[in-house]
Amino acid sequence: MSKQLQRVETLFCHEVGDDYLVVVTRDGERLFRAKLGLSETEAGPRPTKFRLKRGSSEEPRQPDEFVELARRAERIRISEQTSASGRAKLLEMLSGYQLEEKAKAVRTCRYCASAGRYSPVTTETAIKDDRDWICTDCARQELERQLSYSGGVTGAAKERLEELMLEVQDLQRIVNLLKGRLDPELTKFDTISATTDEVDPVGVDTLDLHPDLQALLEDRFDTLLPVQSLSVDNGLFDGRDQLVVSATATGKTLVGELTGIDRVLKGKGTMLFLVPLVALANQKHEDFEDEYGHLVDVSIRVGASRIADSGNRFDPNADVIVGTYEGIDHALRTGKDLGDIGTVVIDEVHTLKEDERGHRLDGLISRLKYATETRARERDGYDGAQWIYLSATVGNPEQLARTLESTLIEFEERPVPIERHVTFADGREKVRVANKLVKREFDTKSSKGYRGQTIIFTNSRRRCHEISRKLEYDAAPYHAGLDYRRRKTVERKFGDQELAAVVTTAALAAGVDFPASQVVFDSLAMGIEWLSVQEFHQMLGRAGRPDYHDEGKVYVLVEPDCAYHNSMEGTEDEIAFTLLKGEMESVMTHYDEAAAVEETLANVTVAGRGAKRLNDRMLGEVPTKHAVGKLIEYDFIDGFEPTPLGRVVTEHFLDPGQAFALLDGIRKNAHPYDLIADIELRDRDL
At residue 308, the pLDDT reads 42
Q: What is the DSSP letter of 414?
A: B
Distance CA(544)–CA(455), nearest Å, equals 11
Q: In sequence order, what are the beta bridge partners of 554?
A: 420, 519
Sequence-distant (≥ 6) Cβ neighbours of residue 594 within 8 angstroms: 655, 656, 657
Q: How far is CA 2 from the centre of its chain?
A: 66
Sequence-distant (≥ 6) Cβ neighbours of residue 444 within 8 angstroms: 451, 452
Angle of CA points 217, 220, 221, to nearest 5°:
90
Tell me the three state secondary structure of residue 274. strand
At residue 684, the pLDDT reads 43
At residue 330, the pLDDT reads 94
**How many of the other CB atoms lie within 10 Å of CB of 150?**
19
Whether the Cβ atoms of residue 597 and residue 635 lie closer than 8 Å to each other: no
306-314: long-range contacts, CB 8 A cutoff, minimum separation 24: 306/652, 306/653, 306/654, 306/679, 307/652, 307/676, 309/334, 313/285
| pTM, full prediction | 0.73
**How many of the other CB atoms lie within 10 Å of CB of 23?**
25
At residue 5, the pLDDT reads 53
Whether the Cβ atoms of residue 235 and residue 407 lie closer than 8 Å to each other: yes
Nearest to 598 by CA among 676, 644, 653: 653
Q: How far is CA 420 from the centre of its chain?
A: 10
CA distance to 112, 117, 131, 137, 636, per residue, from 15 (Å): 13, 13, 17, 22, 86
- Sign of the CA dihedral running 556, 559, 560, 564: negative
Distance CA(186)–CA(170), nearest Å, equals 11
Angle of CA points 251, 254, 256, to nearest 5°:
125
Distance CA(317)–CA(338), nearest Å, equals 8
Largest Cα–Cα distance in the chain? Answer: 122
- 10-residue mean pLDDT series, the chain (686 residues): 66 89 87 92 93 86 92 90 90 93 88 80 82 85 80 73 86 82 85 80 94 94 92 95 88 94 96 90 89 93 53 74 94 92 95 90 96 92 93 90 95 85 86 95 95 94 94 93 86 94 78 84 88 88 88 92 81 87 87 94 95 94 94 93 94 87 83 75 48
Distance CA(581)–CA(461), nearest Å, equals 28
Whether the Cβ atoms of residue 21 and residue 118 lie closer than 8 Å to each other: no
Instruction: Please classify residue 619 by burial: count the beta carbons closer than 10 Å to its beta carbon, then call 0-12 exposed, 13-18 middle and 19+ buried.
Output: buried
Classify strands 641-642 and 637-638 as parallel, antiparallel or unpaired: antiparallel
Phi, psi of 34 (to 5 degrees): -150, 165
Distance CA(136)–CA(411), nearest Å, equals 45
At residue 215, the pLDDT reads 95
At residue 240, the pLDDT reads 96
